[in-house]
Every structure is written in C-alpha cells, then in structure tokens.
A and B are shown apart, each in its own frame.
Chain A
Amino acid sequence: MATAEIQLKPKDYASEVHPDWCPGCGDFGILNAVKQALAELAIEPHKVGIFSGIGCSGKIAHYLKTYGFHTLHGRVLPVASGAKLVNEELTVLAMGGDGDGYGIGAGYFVNTGRRNLDMTYMVFNNGVYGLTKGQASPTRQRGEKTKSMAAPEIQDNINPIGMAVSAGYTFIARGYAMDVKGLKELVVAAINHKGTSFIDVLQPCPVYNDIQTMEWFSGRDRPGRSPRVYKLTDDESFDPVVHDPLDAGEIVSKKQAALGKSYEWGDQIPIGLLYKIDLPTYEDRMRQRKGFEPGAEARSIIKDATPGQDIALTLEQYR
C-alpha cells in the first residue's frame, strides 16, 4: 500500500471546501487525525474512497480531497461495502454519526461485522443528533437530559463496543476526538488491519451536548481534575490482541475482556484498541471459492468482468 518514494502531507488530503462545523466541534479533531493517518501511510488520495452518512459528520467527505461519497442517513456501510466488493484496490473508509450508525443504520452496523471486508468504519459519537438540533442519540443514557431535550431520556443506551464484539468485527477500538495523535494512531492501525476495523470516536458537541463536554472528558469539572479518558495501553494487564486465531478459548476470553472494558463509563473511560484478531477477509474467502491461490494479490473484480462475455457453456445446460 505504502510507496516509499511518495511523500505526502496532511494538507495534501485537504479539499478547498471550508468546514462549516461549529467552533469547538470534535469533528475537526477527527478530520485532522484522518488526514495525518493517510499521510503517514502515504496512500495516494486517488486510491482512497471516503464514504460518509448524513449529519454533521457526513460532511467530512467534502473536506477531504479523495474520492468521496456523501451517502444516505444510516446507509453508509452498504454503500461502502458495495464499492469495496467490486473495487478491492481502493482504501475504503466509512464514517458517520452515532445516530446514523447505531440508530437508523444499526442493522448494517451489525451485519457488516459478519463479513470482514477490508475497510474501516469510524463513528463520530457525540451522544446527540446535532444537525436536527440536539435530540438524544442511541448512546444517550436513560435519565440524562441535555439542554435541548424537552425531557430526560426514557430509553436505555446501547453499547456500541459490545455490539461490535458480538457482531464479529475483527478490529475494535475507541478513540477520543480531542486526542488527535492517539486517534491518528488508531486510524493507521485500523487501515493497516486486514478486515473490517471499527472505531467508536467519542467527541463533544459544544452546542447540544452540555453533559459530555470537553471539560467533562478531561476531568476539569471534578476535584483533582484527573481526566476521565484513560489509555488502554496504560493498563498493562489488558491485552486486546488474539494471538492464536484458531484458539476458540482465547477468542472468547479476549471478547469478554473487551466487553468488560466497554462497560467502563463515567469516572473512567478507556480509549484505545479493545479487540483485534486476524481472520480471512471476505475478499480472501471469495477468491478462494473462485479458485485463486491463497494469498493472491488483491484484484478488483471490475477488471475481469467484461460486457459481452461468453455464456455458451451455461446455456447448454438448459437443453
């Protein structure tokens, strides 16, 4: 993927469109982390496809100078998956908000985990529907009431990391938008991972989320001012990587550990890699069925399908 001769800088991925996100929005941190990650990996812009959903987060496709598809609310994963299936050589990044991915797009979030296509999905998780003016999102906890909600949330929140663990994602991480360096590292690792990588990115919404604010995440609101987010790499007892993918016992124990971490919230919020396993991708399995040698180089199917291709052999079976 990376070519030694090419020197790319984050600004090489910046489009001429000025982001119209609100001042202080976590989306800026995510945009910077993505540009830095692509530059570090030296993936040429035309080899990248950014797919985004609908909402503030969805606009990111316009702010990056790559191939960009600003899709439908909740449907970003199917669109990205379809593109990746036929155009394997493209580096595919799918992005969307937490309402987009965990609410209207929940079915696709779950089922994309089953396939393990070689792509990355980032969810900009700010706990609110920002662009529709601050309604509660599926990650909003019961009883919480942000300033634009008419009444406290009556439903329970979902656990995105837990859902990803059970859906079968092979790379699961949580980032924090204000920790751009740490997030950049996660994005680099996610793109390098062969399989579907999922990053839940916590971010403040300075306009509508007056509970999980930047001050709240950094702990400046409490005595001692110790940050609420902490890095999983600081917990030496936690190893998120499955070292033997054939060991069913190890898989279960690593998934249990990730699930345990996913319920840490409030005073201690872990960020970093939560689970990783190397398994054959959908593309690998498909190629194997078509009779390719194991480990064959990625080759997009659109290069082989030819209009007018011969069907005579199949036709004869109908006589």
Chain B
Amino acid sequence: MTVINKLSWMIGGPQGSGINVSADVFAKACVRSGLRVFSNIEYHSNIMGRHSYFRVRVNERPIQSHVEPVDLLLALDRETLFGDVDAPYQTHRGHVHRLVDGGGIILDSELGVEVDEIGRDEVNIYAVPYADILREGVARSGADYNSKRHDIMRNMVSVAASFALVGMDMDQIVALLRERLGEHRQDLVELNGHVLASTADFMKDNYPDPFAVNINPIEVDKAPLYMRGADAVALGKVHAGCSIQTYYPIAPATEESVVLEKIKDDYPIIVIQAEDEIACINQAVGAAHAGARASTSTSGPGFALMIEGLGFAAITEAPGPVVCLYQRGGPSTGLPTRGGQTDLRLALQPGHGEFPHILVAPGDLAECFELTYNAFNYADSYHVPVVVLLDRCLAAGHWTIDDFDRKHLDVTFGPRYDSGKSREGDTYRRHLLTESGVSPRSIPGEPGGMFVTTSDEHTEFGKISEGIVNRLNQMDKRMGKLQVIADEVPEEMKWTLHGPADADLTVVAWGSTKGAIIDAMDTLKRRQNIVVNFLQIRMMRPFPSVAIGEILTECENVVVFEDNYSGQLRDLITQSTGIRIEKLVVKYDGRPFSQTEIEIGVHNAISEHAEKRLVLSHE
C-alpha cells in the first residue's frame, strides 16, 4: 500500500557536495505542494569533505521534528551508507540502519556498492549512473561535457531521482532553480533542466514500480512560510524596530546575523561585525543608552565574553540590549556545529554581582518571532538586559508556518523624562527611586535631559557613591524590578501546559525540544492511547515559581527532558519551587531530540521500573 504525503527523506555526503541546496530544493517543492515540512542538517566543524546529512520530514499535518526512521536515503558517497569505517577511530556507522522496511536508497552506481554490503533485503536499492546521466543531460543541452564544470550537478541527479520515485514534478525543481539562480544564470537553469529530464527518463525506464511513499500536491491558497528559527528571530528583531545588530562570527549564531546583513539595506537597521563579543555587547549597550532598540547574537563561547557587558548594562539601567544566545555543545570550544541546551545555568547568572535581567526561551518558529519581538518591549519597559535563549536546533532547523500572527503585538516603553522648560538638566535623576524601580529616561541629544551614569555604584543622579544608604536603595530599586516584571508579564507568555489537564504523564521541558514533544504527544495518543501533557517553560527569569509549583503539585507522574547532562531546568525548578522531579531524560551527544527519542523517554517514564535518569544518544 502506498503511503501518501508522509515521508522521512535524507541526503548524505561530504560537505561541499551540495547537500544544502539539494535538501532545500526538495523541501521547498514539498512546501509549494501545500505540505508541512521539518528539516534539519547535521555537519562537522569543517568546510569541505567531512560527512554531513540533511533530513527532510514531510507531512500533511503540522510537524515540528524529525523521526529516526528514514524512508528514502540519498547517498552521495559510501560513508553515508556505512559510516567512516576507514577512519582511525570511527565516529558514526552511516544511515543504512535507519531505513524502514520497504524504504529506498538512491546511490551512484559508480560507488560499486554491492547489495550484500547493504545487507537489507527489504530495502530497495536504486543504483543510478550519475555521470552517464549528467553526460546525457549536458549533451541534450548542446554543450560539451566538462567534469570540472558539470560534476557539481551530481547532487541534482540524486534529488531528481527522488522526485521521480515519490511522483513529484521535475518542473518544480526548474522553477525553484530559476528563483535561486536569478535572471542572469538562466543558461544554468536550462542545463539543469536537461539533466533532470535525463534522470526522469532513466528512472522511468529502469525503476518503473511505484515507491512506498507518494507525494500528492494539495491545493492551498498560499504556500506556508518555510524558514529556520534564526530567520524568525531576525524578522522579530526588524519588526520590533531594532535599529542595530552587532555580531562576531560564531556557529551557530551567525545564521541570524547573515539574514540581517542581507536585508539591512531595506530597513532602518545597522548591522555591524565587531572585533569580538566584548565589543558586540558594549556597542549594543552604548546604542541602547543612546536611544536604539539594540541587540546582539552569539553562542556560548561569545556569551562567556559578554557577561561583563551585561552587568554594565544592568547597573547603568540601559534599556536592553537584547542578547540572543544560541547554545551549542560546550564546554569551551566543545562541539562547535552541534547543539545542546547547556547554557541555561550560565544565562541565569550572566555576570558577577547581583543584578536583574530577563531570560526567555522560545521553542518554535512562532515563539522565536514573538519572544524576540517582546524582548525589546521588556528592555524598553524595565531598563534591563534581556537574554533570548536559543540553540543550534532552532538556529538551523527549518519549519513551516502559515504566517506570524502580528495583530496582537503591542509596543511598550518605560516612562520618559519630560524636561519641561528646564534646559539645564540639573534636576534630572536618571536613576530616580520609583515604586516600579524604573526611572524615567531621556535620550542623549535631548535638551534638559542630561545625565551621567556609571558602572560604579551611583546615586539617583548617576554620580559615584559608596554610601551605605544609597547602596541599599539602588540595589533594592534594581533588584525590585524582577518582582514588577513577574507581576506585569502575562502568565501565558511564561509557560504553557500543552494537552489535557489530566494525563498519564507530564513532560516538563523548554526550548527546542518542544517540537519533538508535541509531535510525540500526538502520535502516542493516536497510536497507543497514551495521554501525555507537556509543561513548556518559556520564562526562566523571573521564574514563574508559584504557577509552576501549583501545576507540578497536581501532577502524579512527571519527567523532565533536556538536551544536557545535568538537568539544568530541573535544578531551576527545585531551586524556585522546592519540588524535586525525580525522572529525567537527558541527551548530551550534541544532537537534537527526535520524536522517536521522546517516545522512548515517555515509555520509560510510564513503565513500572523506570530508569530515573535515562540517557539517550543518537547512535
């Protein structure tokens, strides 16, 4: 029986072999066909040669994660099949074992792979002579074949073969290439068109039987948006009126700044590449004081350098900046291109001394957009730095979404200083003690609003003071903002209990694991009638202790899922509510949770002899 519109597709090969464009073309064609897509890439910290792979999962229902089983595998090299068996120490065993029964492998017949080597009788092997097809396609276009010029299109043969198997239209690839390459490279589009046609003919002649999965386009008014979390964050910043983004290149945060670099001339925004992350944070603090909605983005190693600047922002009560922290596998350089939720503890206390800040963690596209947008409102309303905690999975994973709901978004600012007739500035107190702890601000350049502020402890006027009463007052003023923020930010922004109030199991998690958990909840309910609900925590500071404590008190069986070693959210919950959650599922291999792994974790948690700390890994 053919499965319709439900596919787990994967392409693997050496870096530099066109994995990205292949997956992008396939995914985008599915999106244009009215389908929902989740995709993500795994790659080494390397430019060319090391193994990378891209997963594309397609469905008619909204999906937000990958699954371990693969229906169709496109192998551009032997390593994709069998792993790096010739390496002095093997790092992976390839992807053949992930294929479902009835699935398929598309490979270059020149690789000389024997059926026995693969050892999966129930898997279809589609050996395709990439070079011959390329030659034929090039000949059809009327050009002379030149391996240096044309071998780069090998990946397109592979993608086209997969299109043919699942019944997709080659014209979609041509249309997408036309958009990507632009008007001045139409010769290349035509050349590709001939190669695609040759591939289609080959597949029709040699593999006419239908594949296990078929993709049937669905009529939709408008194709959904298809983008990464990093794109959503960048767009959230622009929509919020952010006028400066500072950055220093670092995986996986750079993706967001590259997006902003590309669109910066269409909007009133400055994007500046600084000399290091210390410069980034301090430029952003200076800009925030000078009147901008200011932001910077980095990863763990860069954030470690920024903490000095965050304390400076907080003691001078700058309106921001917004700092996006894309976590990766640490410590130190760690796993530069892999992921993890390893920096929650760091982001909760980003600096020496005690100061207020806001910490939020989005879990999907819509939240990446909205929480980033709101971060600027928080910064302007409370004059504190705001950290948006993201990770590699959100940075590089692609999701589909119809649109970003923007009508309900408001704009909030803290109080502004009105100098009235005074042009002297003698009476203005930038750090005035107020009930909310937020002092009316002026913007440099405004007459009458002159102030000085300092990283030293200071008086209401911003003058250095080591006086005891003043110190107590200013500390109380600053730290008191946390309670004001806790009171004013709506509860629905801080956390969500997804699913029914009563469930067999309550999953507690944060950030990018959301997609896999939501997908697993749905499948577990439909297939096995296991009812799971999911407490997603989005605001980590100030922490919604009362609400979370009340919910957890009501839950009988609770498990925390985290992409780290120690269960950092679990510790935060204990510290804030006094409740210790005993069951924990962790992963610290640098790879994101799949839906499949969430299901494994749930099964463990509801079993009688549940492991208290279950460690999962992608192997």
Which A residues from 82 to 100 make CB contacts under 8 A with B? 82-87, 89-90
Query: Taking each of B243, B280, B456, which has the highest tally of chain A beta carbons within 10 Å of its own beta carbon?
Result: B243
Inter-chain contact A67/B268, CB cutoff 8 Å:
no
Inter-chain contact A314/B263, CB cutoff 8 Å:
yes
Partner of A78, one of B242, B244, B274, B409: B274
Whether, in the assembled complex, B65 has its beta carbon less than 8 Å from a beta carbon of chain A, the answer is: no
Report the Cα distance A21→B292, complex, angstroms: 34
Inter-chain contact B446/A111, CB cutoff 8 Å:
no
Inter-chain contact A44/B447, CB cutoff 8 Å:
yes
Inter-chain contact A305/B293, CB cutoff 8 Å:
yes
Inter-chain contact B286/A17, CB cutoff 8 Å:
no
CB distance from A70 to the nearest CB of B (A): 4
Inter-chain contact B411/A307, CB cutoff 8 Å:
yes
Closest to B410 in A: A308
Inter-chain contact A72/B282, CB cutoff 8 Å:
yes
Given A45-B450, A302-B292, does the pair A79, B282 have CB atoms closer than 8 Å? yes
**Residues of A contacting B456 in the complex (Cβ-Cβ under 8 angstroms):** 70
Which B residues from 270 to 285 make CB contacts under 8 A with A? 270, 272, 274-276, 278-285
Partner of B282, one of A17, A78, A89: A78
Whether, in the assembled complex, B222 has its beta carbon less than 8 Å from a beta carbon of chain A, the answer is: yes
Report the Cα distance A314→B262, complex, angstroms: 11
Report the Cα distance A15→B426, complex, angstroms: 9
Whether, in the assembled complex, A311 has its beta carbon less than 8 Å from a beta carbon of chain B, the answer is: yes
* Residue contacts A-B, CB under 8 angstroms, 9 given: A46-B445, A50-B452, A70-B456, A78-B280, A82-B246, A87-B445, A107-B276, A305-B242, A308-B411
**Residues of A contacting B515 in the complex (Cβ-Cβ under 8 angstroms):** none
**Residues of B contacting A311 in the complex (Cβ-Cβ under 8 angstroms):** 235, 238-239
Given A69-B453, A306-B241, A311-B239, does the pair A85, B287 have CB atoms closer than 8 Å? yes
Which A residues from 50 to 67 make CB contacts under 8 A with B? 50-51, 54, 59, 61-62, 65-67
Report the Cα distance A47→B272, complex, angstroms: 24
The 8 A CB mask of A15-50 against B (1 = contact, 0 = none) is 111000000000000000000000000001111011
Whether, in the assembled complex, B223 has its beta carbon less than 8 Å from a beta carbon of chain A, the answer is: yes
Inter-chain contact B287/A46, CB cutoff 8 Å:
no
Inter-chain contact A86/B241, CB cutoff 8 Å:
no
Report the Cα distance A44→B424, complex, angstroms: 11
CB distance from B467 to the nearest CB of A (A): 14
Report the Cα distance A301→B443, complex, angstroms: 13
Inter-chain contact A305/B292, CB cutoff 8 Å:
yes
Inter-chain contact B411/A72, CB cutoff 8 Å:
no
Report the Cα distance A311→B266, complex, angstroms: 10
Apart from A83-B444, A85-B270: 14 A-B pairs, beta carbons within 8 A: A61-B452, A62-B463, A68-B462, A77-B279, A79-B286, A82-B294, A84-B286, A85-B287, A86-B287, A87-B445, A301-B243, A305-B241, A308-B411, A314-B266
Report the Cα distance A200→B426, complex, angstroms: 32
Report the Cα distance A1→B447, complex, angstroms: 15
Whether, in the assembled complex, A318 has its beta carbon less than 8 Å from a beta carbon of chain B, the answer is: yes
CB distance from B208 to the nearest CB of A (A): 34
Whether, in the assembled complex, B539 has its beta carbon less than 8 Å from a beta carbon of chain A, the answer is: no
The 8 A CB mask of A285-314 against B (1 = contact, 0 = none) is 010011100000000111011111101011
Inter-chain contact B286/A301, CB cutoff 8 Å:
no
Whether, in the assembled complex, A80 has its beta carbon less than 8 Å from a beta carbon of chain B, the answer is: yes
Report the Cα distance A291→B286, complex, angstroms: 26
Whether, in the assembled complex, B567 has its beta carbon less than 8 Å from a beta carbon of chain A, the answer is: no
The 8 A CB mask of B118-130 against A (1 = contact, 0 = none) is 0000000000000
**Residues of B contacting A65 in the complex (Cβ-Cβ under 8 angstroms):** 425, 450
Interface residues of B (CB under 8 A from A): 31, 222-227, 231, 235, 238-244, 246, 263, 265-270, 272, 274-276, 278-294, 308-309, 312, 316, 376-377, 403-404, 409, 411, 423, 425-426, 443-456, 462-464
Whether, in the assembled complex, A71 has its beta carbon less than 8 Å from a beta carbon of chain B, the answer is: yes
Report the Cα distance A67→B376, complex, angstroms: 23
**Residues of A contacting B455 in the complex (Cβ-Cβ under 8 angstroms):** 54, 70-72
**Residues of B contacting A108 in the complex (Cβ-Cβ under 8 angstroms):** 275, 279
Inter-chain contact B425/A301, CB cutoff 8 Å:
no
Partner of A313, one of B266, B283, B284, B286: B266
Inter-chain contact B290/A302, CB cutoff 8 Å:
yes
CB distance from B616 to the nearest CB of A (A): 32
Report the Cα distance A68→B451, complex, angstroms: 6
Question: Which 6 A/B pairs are nearest by Cβ-Cβ distance?
Answer: A82-B286, A82-B283, A68-B452, A70-B454, A305-B243, A78-B282
Whether, in the assembled complex, A255 has its beta carbon less than 8 Å from a beta carbon of chain B, the answer is: no
Inter-chain contact A319/B222, CB cutoff 8 Å:
yes
**Residues of B contacting A49 in the complex (Cβ-Cβ under 8 angstroms):** 290, 444
Report the Cα distance A84→B454, complex, angstroms: 18
**Residues of B contacting A71 in the complex (Cβ-Cβ under 8 angstroms):** 282, 286, 312, 455
Closest to A49 in B: B444
The 8 A CB mask of A175-215 against B (1 = contact, 0 = none) is 00000000000000000000000000000000000000000
Inter-chain contact A87/B268, CB cutoff 8 Å:
no
**Residues of A contacting B292 in the complex (Cβ-Cβ under 8 angstroms):** 82, 86-87, 301-302, 305
Closest to B419 in A: A46
Whether, in the assembled complex, A315 has its beta carbon less than 8 Å from a beta carbon of chain B, the answer is: yes
